[in-house]
Amino acid sequence: MAVDSAGTRTAPRPRPVPWVAMYHSVTDCPDDPYRITVTPDRLERQLRWLAVRGVRGVSVAELLAARARGEGRRLVGLTFDDGYADFVDHALPVLRRLDFGATLFVLPGRLGGDNAWDPLGPRKPLLTADGIRQAARAGIEIGSHGLTHLDLTTVDDLRLKTEVVESRAALEDLLGAPVDGFCYPYGTLHPRAVEAVRGAGYRYACAIDPGPLTGPFALPRVHVGQNDDAVRLFLKYRLHRLRRRPVEGL
């Protein structure tokens, strides 16, 4: 509890919501109806925009650990959803050049497959087990995006448990290390999904706009796309902090 000038105990002032950026595929892809692709050049310009302002990109785990210490004001969490194979080819070199970290959310039930859940978009290959290990060796945090990319708000309890629990077990077996982060496919969640993720042993989970839900298992994120230049990035950053309510416990 905080204490005001009159010596009265008051509730601590909530801190601004963490800034977590959401990326997907990084490659040259003019056919992109879902607007989830950025070119390597655009990614580098976006991340250098952060760097010149004294902001460093880190994994979500590092961001949350810094906030737990009362730090992290100059950090932004960088997340890459779906585990596209182009992450190793195009995103990882950019991150290395800038000494940035990131979290890569992958689908262990679709290793070496493609984005079959996107009916309109071009087929894009997903990382193999070796590709995920390569990213992890480079210092990238690996998290689960579920087993097969299902909307967890539409499945029954058994399937929900399978997507959440088995994906974590598969990744921990693949990596030989704990997996602490989860990302809800499509960014959709409800209390039952949140409790399933919490019960599976994860330490945090990322959404997009969690609505009335809040806390470490309902972290909001900002979509970053090909059209986001310096002005748009600045506006997204400011609007994220103004529109999102503080995350309880952070």
Per-residue pLDDT tens over the stretch 33-86: 999 999 999 999 999 999 999 999 999 999 999 999 999 889 999 999 999 999
Tell me the mean pLDDT in the region 117-138.
96
Cα angle: 182, vertex 153, 185; to 5 degrees: 40
**Which pLDDT value is given to residue 3?**
47
Residue 1 pLDDT level (bands cut at 50, 70, 90): very low
Whether residue 26 contacts residue 45, with contact meaning beta carbons closer than 8 Å, is answered with no
Residue 201 has pLDDT above 70, yes or no: yes
**Which pLDDT value is given to residue 238?**
76
Nearest-angstrom CA–CA distance, 203 and 230: 33
Whether residue 166 contacts residue 128, with contact meaning beta carbons closer than 8 Å, is answered with no
Tell me the mean pLDDT in the region 119-145.
96
**Which pLDDT value is given to residue 11?**
55
Nearest-angstrom CA–CA distance, 205 and 49: 27
Whether residue 54 contacts residue 43, with contact meaning beta carbons closer than 8 Å, is answered with no
Q: Which tokens is 60 given? A: 């979500």
Nearest-angstrom CA–CA distance, 199 and 185: 18
Reference 76, options 50, 42, 52; nearest CA is: 50
**Which pLDDT value is given to residue 29?**
83
For a pLDDT cut of 70, what percent of the chain falls above it?
90
